């Protein structure tokens, strides 16, 4: 297993605005093969994801999020996440 942790930020007009949105994101991503952990926050618009790169790639994650209505951008490091 080759594990990767990635933080994504929801961008665009459609944002997470409640706990239900967070749960929708978590449920959708947990259905993908290789996903180990997902956390989502409507307060920060951040999604923290840990996944197996042998089973899943970031493009597939992005496609799943777009299917449920969210556009995302990669956050390069934790400092970026805290400053935006």
pLDDT digits (tens, 9 = 90+) for 14-72: 999 999 999 999 999 999 999 999 999 999 999 999 999 999 999 999 999 999 999 99
The residue ranges of DSSP E strands in 1-84, in sequence order, are 3-11, 35-41, 46-52, 71-75
For residues 35 and 51, the answer to whether their CB atoms sit within 8 Å is yes
Q: Write down the pLDDT at residue 3.
A: 95
Residue 79 pLDDT level (bands cut at 50, 70, 90): low
Does domain 3-83 correspond to CATH entry 3.40.50.970?
Answer: no
30 SS3 class: helix
From residue 15, alpha-carbon distances to 1, 2, 21, 36, 57 in Å are 32, 30, 8, 24, 23
Q: Write down the pLDDT at residue 19.
A: 97
Residue 76 pLDDT level (bands cut at 50, 70, 90): confident
**Has residue 11 got a pLDDT over 80?**
yes
């Amino acid at each position: 297993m080759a594990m990767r942790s990635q933080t994504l930020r929801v961008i665009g007009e459609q944002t997470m605005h409640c706990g239900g949105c967070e749960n929708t994101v978590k449920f959708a991503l947990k259905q993908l093969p290789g996903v180990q952990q997902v956390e989502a926050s409507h307060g920060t618009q951040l999604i923290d994801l840990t996944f197996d790169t042998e089973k899943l790639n970031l493009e597939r994650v992005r496609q799943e999020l777009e299917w449920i209505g969210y556009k995302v951008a990669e956050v390069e490091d934790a400092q970026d996440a805290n400053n935006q």
